[in-house]
């Protein structure tokens, strides 16, 4: 799926709206234009009325446009009452002269400016008829051009083509005349050549358009508007050819010219056109970044265009439709399907409100809706939409073969293949490929895209020999091409990773014996793919896009693990086990290793790392603006140059740091093993395709154990479900033990276990597993992994070698506990000004009195601070949480498994500030950007620990974000647990921590205490077992509180007093024994 390419031509309009008779008339019209440009509508209206009072004025027809322009500027939804009244007066004369021509042309242009082109048709056709009757060549060219513009705005390509050609014929037949409209007409012809798949002819006409510009005219129309429109359309040719550098240069030139035009003019006849064209240019820019994998940047640019449309256009206009569609696309290709649907529905509503057939715009909409259905896996629905897309394109331009149609056919063929309708898929893709090759050539950008799609279909039908042959042909073609830059190379083949995946799978499947030699050949292709991933990572500045790249490459990584496992089974060579783990870590945990080395000055000085963060921030936030919807192109280009220069410096001066940031993770298991203490064993669960294995790693040994296929994922859900019978839970605990632990139990020799789950296993607390089926939950005390082991969890082996400097915090404890009681909710309802914006979810949150009690009690016990109720706001948390040994958060949380970075913690409403009253949710993506340095973060909220394993997202959850933000370990809950039970366990846990126990042992002891005292339903795992420890397990040295100091001082004083009394008594006894003392006699 890709951004649909350039859905609209960059439209053009002439500032000289009408052929003028003499200089005196020019002066009057120029005066009106200048007054409108300065928003002086009153005086402009006075001049208009003065001229209109003269029924013999030759200017009457030309006054219709400025009269309507004022109405439009004062009310964009105007019915043009005054302009139509003047038009009616002129029309009533029944004279077919230049005045009637001007009136009809003016009304037509007004409706196009307003975005209601269907109303313009009758006026522009009448103007064209009048021009022909008058025999005026210049007016004939002008009216033909306006009709071609009408075709563009209504999506009627037949109309656009016919009248553009008519205008060109008139210019050719009268080549001795000077036609000011020539650059615009050549521009349209160039764009039409592009849409008809004639790139050489398109280049020819765009070149003519540029050369036809009047270089001596300093009018903004000549210096900025026309070059902007021409380069904006020429961009499409360069993009279709896969020429990234030229495409980027042209689209940035276009935006620069439009910004210059808008800065130089005001209320210009071209203003609405420029604003609309600027939105199209944003689409073009976003599509370039999207093809490079910078989806987040594309989304932000799309939102910039959308905000620009909201600012300058009504919802029932083509410009608004295009902007809403653009955002929907960007969200769709960011895998945010739910939000994408919202904007696509808005685009659909907008298009339905615009009169006319609008075939080309219908095609654009249907194409994106097809992509949405495809991403949802609704392939038959996708097929239906793609057929509607192609039919709409045919209705719009029956003779054309545009790039958009090529992509619609590609997606149609892939949908057929997914439906196992291979013959139809091959027929569609082969026909498309033949047409593309005939026009663009075998080595073209579009042919490359079609051929890769054909590889997918051939592979799907298990033609592995054909897959290998075509894949190698495509790869060989890359070797013969030369590229100006790495970016151009990546842009030319954005789907090369998919191609390599099909090739590796075909090579694997075609060899039935799976020999060592054939498998090594497969790994060579995998390593090539990994190098491409590394190269792509260096081009992307946004961490989310890098994670998306890795997520989208997950199938490749997973297949690589399968191949390396097969080689290990054949050879027994330990290095292939290392490759399995390397691929697994690389596919998921890009974030972590960068954070772990942020303070490593051996790799790079701190000022270099600060420069990197500053440059990334400048680039990633450049398009973030709520109000200003234009940007300075030169500033953007300077930022990009700075980033490229920085990367070059990194690569040459700090190669180790560059490799850390942008190369695939390389793991030395020997090195990692040395990080494991002798009292601990690491168990790394890992899925290789559908197979599950467990790596058992200690400081001196490692082995891989295949696990049976008896794993029941339903059982993982059952053990935390209170609705299930006890017997069902007991059975599941035993089954899971047999599947996950029994095969490795004899290899575990230590009490301390660090478990690294994978995928669904992140939802399981292993300490509940029982070797035998128990009869009651009380049996867990003696017959479970909880009874035998101190278990902690982690999610990346890289964290075993955590090089982050151990910080010494002077403050022990800080706690946040909004209780969400009725008083807080009443205060919020009183403070909220607009009932429409009231947060109804907040009002339904259950109170949490036990969480507040725990927070308050232990903040006193550890000499810390607690922020309760209204004080537990997001603002206060952000200001006060950093650098405490323990950060305790007792609140509600909302887990978003579709978009994990939108998971959030709920804090108290900030009712003292109406501007941020509803800013009480702390999202995962915000946590990643904070410093929350601590030895332990306590997150005892609903589902806060449950990660999502959605493709492309990896192990993103609130707990992981806290670790990334600086918390060495996290105590969190895998599912919603009982608040009172959680408070009881935490009470015991803190006590054991205070006594010096390691964190994992303290939690285990607290749970065993709970089980020994709990009764009835509170023994069920749903109440208490969700609590787990992730990360570092070392003890926390807590400082004694002031209360403890006073106790120590008091005890010290008591001891001193006792000693003094004893001493006095001994002294008294001594005097009684010796008798009275005598003075020395000196005489």
pLDDT digits (tens, 9 = 90+) for 770-797: 999 999 999 999 999 999 999 999 888 8
Q: Taking Cα atoms as reference points, which of 399, 462, 457, 415 lies closest to residue 433?
A: 457
**Is 206 contained in some domain?**
no
Domain boundary among 791, 819, 844: 791
Q: In the structure, what pLDDT confidence band is assigned to residue 368 with cuts at 50, 70 and 90?
A: very high
CATH number at residue 945: 3.40.50.1460
Whole-number Å distance between alpha carbons of 97 and 134: 7
pLDDT for res 20: 45
pLDDT of 926 over the 60 cut:
yes
Whole-number Å distance between alpha carbons of 8 and 115: 14
**Is 616 contained in some domain?**
no
pLDDT for res 301: 92
pLDDT digits (tens, 9 = 90+) for 997-1019: 999 999 999 999 999 999 999 99
pLDDT for res 952: 28
pLDDT of 1072 over the 80 cut:
no
Asked whether residue 847 falls in the same domain as residue 992, the answer is yes
The share of the chain scoring above pLDDT 70, in percent, equals 86
DSSP character string of 527-541: HHHHHHHHHHHHH--
pLDDT for res 384: 98
Q: In the structure, what pLDDT confidence band is assigned to residue 838 with cuts at 50, 70 and 90?
A: confident
Asked whether residue 175 falls in the same domain as residue 35, the answer is yes
Backbone angles phi, psi at 581, to 5 degrees: -65, -40
Whole-number Å distance between alpha carbons of 416 and 430: 13
Instruction: Yes or no: say if 210 and 223 are a contact pair by the CB < 8 Å rule.
Output: no
Hey, what are 267's tokens? 């209320």
**Do the strands 904-906 and 921-923 form a parallel or antiparallel pair, or are they unpaired?**
antiparallel
Mean of all residue pLDDT scores within the chain: 84
Of 273-277, 353-357, 694-698, 773-777, the poorest mean pLDDT is in: 353-357
pLDDT for res 109: 93
pLDDT of 813 over the 80 cut:
yes
CA angle 62, 68, 71 (to 5 degrees): 150
pLDDT for res 1: 54
Mean pLDDT to the nearest integer, 809-831: 88
pLDDT for res 960: 75
Q: Which ranges of 928-978 would DSSP assign to H, the alpha helix?
A: 958-964
Asked whether residue 846 falls in the same domain as residue 721, the answer is no
Backbone angles phi, psi at 819, to 5 degrees: -80, -15
Containing domain of residue 67, as a range?
A: 17-179
Does this model's pTM top 0.85? My answer is no
Long-range contacts from 1037-1045, C-beta under 8 angstroms, 24+ separation: 1037/996, 1038/812, 1038/813, 1038/862, 1038/885, 1038/993, 1038/994, 1039/812, 1039/862, 1039/863, 1040/863, 1041/860, 1041/861, 1041/862, 1041/863, 1042/863, 1043/860, 1043/863
Asked whether residue 895 falls in the same domain as residue 830, the answer is yes
Q: CA dist 38 to 29, 69, 265, 768, 839, Å?
A: 15, 13, 9, 76, 44
pLDDT of 799 over the 60 cut:
yes
Domain boundary among 770, 791, 812: 791
Total number of domains in the chain: 4
Instruction: Yes or no: say if 862 and 938 are a contact pair by the CB < 8 Å rule.
Output: no
pLDDT digits (tens, 9 = 90+) for 468-494: 999 999 988 888 777 776 777 777 777
Asked whether residue 23 falls in the same domain as residue 156, the answer is yes
pLDDT of 351 over the 90 cut:
yes
3-state secondary structure (DSSP) of residue 640? helix
Q: In the structure, what pLDDT confidence band is assigned to residue 950 with cuts at 50, 70 and 90?
A: very low
Whole-number Å distance between alpha carbons of 75 and 867: 52
Instruction: Yes or no: say if 80 and 68 are a contact pair by the CB < 8 Å rule.
Output: yes
pLDDT digits (tens, 9 = 90+) for 66-109: 999 999 999 988 999 999 999 999 999 888 999 999 999 999 99
pLDDT digits (tens, 9 = 90+) for 289-306: 888 888 888 999 999 999
pLDDT of 758 over the 90 cut:
no
Which letter, b or e, does each residue of 426-460 get, where b requires 16 or more Cβ atoms within 10 Å of its Cβ?
bebbeebbebbbebbeeebbbbbbbbbbbbbbbbb
Cα dihedral: 43, 44, 50, 53 (round 10): -130
The share of the chain scoring above pLDDT 90, in percent, equals 45
**Is 586 contained in some domain?**
no
Hey, what are 659's tokens? 């490799």
Higher per-residue confidence, 881 vs 832: 881
Count CB atoms within 10 A of the CB of residue 27. 10
Instruction: Yes or no: say if 80 and 72 are a contact pair by the CB < 8 Å rule.
Output: yes
DSSP assignment letter at 865: E
**Is 348 contained in some domain?**
no
Of 63-72, 508-517, 575-584, 940-949, the poorest mean pLDDT is in: 940-949
**Is 234 contained in some domain?**
no
| Residues sharing a CB contact under 8 Å with residue 990, sequence separation 6 or more, in sequence order | 858, 861, 862
Q: CA dist 562 to 112, 400, 615, Å?
A: 60, 46, 39
- Listed in order, strand segments (DSSP E) in 919-999 are 921-923, 934-939, 969-973
Question: How far does CA 484 lie from the centroid of its chain?
Answer: 29
Cα dihedral: 1046, 1052, 1055, 1061 (round 10): -90
**Is 42 contained in some domain?**
yes
3-state secondary structure (DSSP) of residue 951? coil
pLDDT for res 957: 63
pLDDT digits (tens, 9 = 90+) for 303-317: 999 999 999 999 999
Asked whether residue 832 falls in the same domain as residue 853, the answer is yes
Instruction: Yes or no: say if 73 and 114 are a contact pair by the CB < 8 Å rule.
Output: no
**Cα-Cα-Cα-Cα dihedral sign, residues 599, 601, 606, 612:** negative
Higher per-residue confidence, 591 vs 962: 962
Asked whether residue 97 falls in the same domain as residue 170, the answer is yes
Whole-number Å distance between alpha carbons of 246 and 252: 10
Return the top range by mean pLDDT from 572-576, 772-776, 861-865: 772-776
pLDDT for res 805: 54
Asked whether residue 878 falls in the same domain as residue 958, the answer is yes
pLDDT for res 1069: 59
CA atoms within 13 A on the CB side of 160: 32
**Do the strands 969-973 and 1027-1031 form a parallel or antiparallel pair, or are they unpaired?**
antiparallel
**Do the strands 702-706 and 752-756 form a parallel or antiparallel pair, or are they unpaired?**
unpaired
Q: In the structure, what pLDDT confidence band is assigned to residue 342 with cuts at 50, 70 and 90?
A: very high
pLDDT of 602 over the 60 cut:
no
pLDDT digits (tens, 9 = 90+) for 247-285: 999 999 999 999 999 999 988 888 988 999 999 999 999
Mean pLDDT to the nearest integer, 179-192: 91
Q: CA dist 853 to 849, 858, 863, 870, 1032, Å?
A: 6, 9, 15, 15, 27
Mean pLDDT to the nearest integer, 370-395: 95
User: In sequence order, what are the beta bridge partners of 866?
Assistant: 815
| Residues sharing a CB contact under 8 Å with residue 900, sequence separation 6 or more, in sequence order | 924, 947, 948, 950, 953, 956, 957
Whole-number Å distance between alpha carbons of 1001 and 1033: 8
**Is 38 contained in some domain?**
yes
- Listed in order, strand segments (DSSP E) in 108-265 are none
pLDDT digits (tens, 9 = 90+) for 502-560: 999 999 999 888 899 999 999 999 888 888 887 777 777 766 677 677 767 888 888 99
pLDDT of 1081 over the 70 cut:
no
Hey, what are 431's tokens? 């026909």
Whole-number Å distance between alpha carbons of 849 and 983: 10
Whole-number Å distance between alpha carbons of 339 and 324: 12
Backbone angles phi, psi at 952, to 5 degrees: 85, -10
Q: Which helix (H) or strand (E) holds 395?
A: helix 379-396
3-state secondary structure (DSSP) of residue 692? strand
Instruction: Yes or no: say if 667 and 734 are a contact pair by the CB < 8 Å rule.
Output: no
Domain boundary among 151, 179, 207: 179
Asked whether residue 1007 falls in the same domain as residue 873, the answer is yes
Q: Taking Cα atoms as reference points, which of 666, 663, 642 lies closest to residue 654?
A: 663
pLDDT for res 403: 82
pLDDT of 641 over the 70 cut:
yes
pLDDT of 953 over the 50 cut:
no
User: In sequence order, what are the beta bridge partners of 574?
Assistant: none
| Residues sharing a CB contact under 8 Å with residue 711, sequence separation 6 or more, in sequence order | 692, 736, 739, 740
The region that residue 947 occupies, defined by phi over 0 for left and psi between -120 and 50 for alpha, beta otherwise, is beta
- Listed in order, strand segments (DSSP E) in 1016-1080 are 1027-1031
Asked whether residue 874 falls in the same domain as residue 955, the answer is yes
Whole-number Å distance between alpha carbons of 461 and 465: 11
Count CB atoms within 10 A of the CB of residue 572. 9
Q: In the structure, what pLDDT confidence band is assigned to residue 675 with cuts at 50, 70 and 90?
A: confident
| Residue pointed to by tokens 């091409």 | 481
pLDDT for res 145: 94
Asked whether residue 786 falls in the same domain as residue 825, the answer is no
Whole-number Å distance between alpha carbons of 308 and 697: 56
Instruction: Yes or no: say if 472 and 451 are a contact pair by the CB < 8 Å rule.
Output: no
**Is 256 contained in some domain?**
no
Whole-number Å distance between alpha carbons of 391 and 94: 43
3-state secondary structure (DSSP) of residue 81? helix
- For the chain, the first-to-last Cα distance in angstroms comes to 123
Q: Which ranges of 572-712 would DSSP assign to H, the alpha helix?
A: 574-588, 590-596, 606-620, 633-653, 655-662, 669-674
Whole-number Å distance between alpha carbons of 757 and 735: 17
CATH number at residue 54: 1.25.40.10
Q: Taking Cα atoms as reference points, which of 4, 111, 123, 153 lies closest to residue 61?
A: 123
Whole-number Å distance between alpha carbons of 219 and 830: 58
Asked whether residue 1049 falls in the same domain as residue 972, the answer is no
């Amino acid at each position: 799926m890709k951004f649909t390419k350039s859905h609209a031509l960059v439209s053009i309009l002439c500032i000289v709206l009408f052929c003028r008779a003499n200089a005196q008339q020019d002066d009057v019209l120029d005066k009106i234009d200048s007054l409108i440009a300065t928003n002086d509508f009153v005086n402009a209206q006075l001049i208009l009325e003065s001229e209109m009072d003269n029924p013999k004025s030759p200017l009457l027809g030309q006054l219709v446009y400025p009269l309507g322009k004022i109405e439009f500027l004062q009310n964009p939804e105007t019915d043009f009452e005054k302009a139509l009244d003047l038009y009616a007066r002129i029309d009533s004369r029944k004279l077919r002269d230049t005045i009637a021509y001007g009136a009809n042309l003016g009304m037509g242009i007004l409706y196009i400016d307003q975005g209601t082109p269907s109303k313009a048709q009758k006026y522009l056709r009448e103007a064209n008829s009048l021009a022909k009757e008058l025999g005026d060549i210049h007016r004939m060219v002008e009216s033909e051009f306006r009709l071609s513009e009408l075709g563009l705005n209504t999506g009627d390509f037949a109309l656009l083509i016919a009248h553009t050609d008519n205008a060109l014929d008139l210019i050719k037949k009268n080549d001795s005349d000077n036609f000011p409209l020539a650059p615009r007409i050549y521009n349209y012809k160039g764009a039409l050549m592009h849409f008809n798949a004639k790139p050489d002819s398109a280049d020819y006409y765009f070149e003519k358009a540029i050369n036809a510009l009047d270089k001596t005219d300093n009018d903004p129309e000549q210096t900025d508007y026309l070059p902007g429109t021409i380069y904006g359309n020429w961009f499409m040719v360069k993009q279709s050819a896969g020429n990234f550098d030229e495409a980027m240069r042209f689209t940035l030139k276009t935006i620069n010219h439009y910004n210059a035009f808008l800065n130089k003019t005001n209320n210009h006849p071209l203003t609405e056109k420029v604003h609309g064209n600027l939105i199209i240019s944003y689409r073009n820019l976003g599509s370039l970044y999207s093809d490079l994998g910078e989806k987040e940047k594309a989304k932000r640019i799309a939102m910039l265009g959308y905000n620009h449309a909201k600012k300058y256009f009504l919802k029932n206009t083509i410009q608004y439709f295009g902007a809403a569609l653009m955002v929907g696309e960007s969200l769709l290709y960011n895998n945010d399907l739910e939000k994408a649907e919202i904007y696509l529905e808005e685009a659909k509503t907008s298009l339905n409100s615009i009169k006319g057939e609008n075939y080309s715009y219908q095609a654009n909409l249907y194409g994106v809706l097809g992509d949405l259905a495809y991403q949802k896996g609704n392939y038959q629905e996708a097929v239906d939409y793609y057929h509607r897309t192609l039919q709409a394109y045919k209705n719009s331009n029956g003779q054309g073969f545009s790039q958009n149609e090529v992509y619609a056919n590609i997606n149609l063929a892939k949908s057929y293949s997914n439906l196992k309708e291979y013959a139809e898929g091959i027929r569609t893709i082969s026909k498309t490929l033949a047409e593309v090759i005939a026009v663009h050539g075998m080595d073209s950008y579009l042919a490359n895209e079609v051929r890769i799609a054909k590889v997918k279909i051939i592979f799907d039908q298990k033609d592995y020999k054909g897959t290998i042959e075509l894949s190698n042909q495509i790869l060989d073609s890359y070797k013969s091409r030369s590229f100006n830059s790495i970016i151009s190379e990546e842009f030319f083949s954005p789907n090369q990773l998919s191609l390599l995946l099909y090739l590796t799978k075909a090579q694997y499947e075609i060899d039935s014996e799976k020999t060592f030699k054939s498998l090594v050949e497969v790994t060579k292709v995998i390593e090539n793919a990994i190098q491409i991933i590394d190269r792509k990572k260096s081009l992307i500045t946004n961490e989310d896009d890098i994670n998306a790249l890795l997520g989208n490459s997950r199938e490749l990584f997973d297949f690589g693990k399968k191949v390396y496992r097969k080689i290990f089974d054949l050879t027994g060579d330990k290095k292939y086990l290392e490759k399995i783990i390397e691929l697994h870590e690389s596919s998921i945990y890009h974030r972590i290793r960068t954070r772990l080395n942020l303070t490593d000055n051996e790799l790079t000085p701190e000022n270099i790392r600060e420069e990197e963060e500053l440059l990334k921030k400048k680039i990633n936030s450049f398009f973030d603006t709520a109000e200003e919807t234009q940007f300075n192109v030169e500033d953007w280009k300077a930022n990009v140059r700075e980033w490229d220069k920085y990367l070059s410096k990194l690569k040459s001066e700090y190669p180790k740091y560059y490799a850390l940031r942008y190369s695939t993770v390389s793991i030395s298991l020997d090195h990692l093993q040395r990080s494991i203490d002798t009292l601990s064993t690491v168990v790394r669960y890992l899925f290789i395709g559908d197979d599950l294995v467990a790596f058992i790693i200690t400081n001196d040994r490692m082995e891989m154990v295949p696990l049976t296929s008896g794993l029941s994922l339903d059982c993982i859900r059952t053990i935390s479900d209170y609705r299930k019978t006890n017997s069902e839970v007991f059975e599941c605990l035993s089954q899971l033990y047999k599947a996950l632990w029994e095969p490795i139990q004899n290899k575990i020799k230590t009490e301390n276990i660090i478990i690294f789950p994978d995928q669904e296993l992140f939802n399981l607390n292993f300490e509940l597993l029982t070797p035998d089926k128990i009869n009651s939950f009380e049996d867990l005390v003696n017959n479970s992994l909880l009874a035998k082991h101190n278990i902690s969890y982690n999610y990346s082996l890289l964290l075993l070698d955590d090089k982050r400097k151990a910080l010494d915090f002077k403050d022990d404890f800080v706690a946040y506990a909004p209780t969400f009681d009725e008083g807080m909710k009443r205060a919020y309802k009183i403070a909220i000004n607009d009932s429409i914006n009231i947060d109804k979810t907040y009002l339904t949150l259950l109170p949490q009195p036990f969480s507040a009690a725990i927070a308050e009690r232990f903040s006193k016990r550890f000499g810390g601070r607690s922020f309760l109720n209204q004080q537990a706001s997001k603002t206060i948390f952000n200001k006060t949480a950093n650098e405490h040994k323990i950060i305790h958060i007792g609140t509600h949380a909302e887990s978003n498994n579709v978009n994990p970075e939108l998971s959030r913690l709920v804090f108290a409403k900030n009712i003292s500030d109406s501007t941020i009253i509803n800013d009480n949710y702390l999202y995962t993506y915000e946590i990643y950007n904070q410093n929350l340095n601590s030895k332990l973060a306590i997150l005892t909220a609903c589902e806060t620990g449950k990660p999502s394993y959605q493709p492309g997202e990896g192990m993103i959850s609130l707990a992981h974000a806290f670790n990334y933000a600086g918390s060495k370990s996290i105590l969190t809950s895998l599912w919603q647990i009982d608040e009172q039970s959680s408070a009881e366990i935490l009470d015991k846990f803190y006590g054991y921590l205070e006594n010096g126990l390691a964190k994992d042992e303290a939690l285990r002891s607290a749970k065993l205490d709970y089980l020994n005292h709990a009764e009835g339903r509170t023994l069920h795992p749903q109440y208490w077992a969700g609590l787990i420890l992730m990360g570092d397990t070392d003890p926390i040295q807590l400082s004694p509180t002031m209360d403890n100091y006073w106790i120590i001082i008091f005890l010290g004083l008591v001891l001193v007093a006792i000693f003094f009394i004893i001493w006095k008594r001994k002294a008294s006894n001594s005097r009684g024994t010796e008798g009275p003392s005598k003075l020395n006699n000196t005489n």
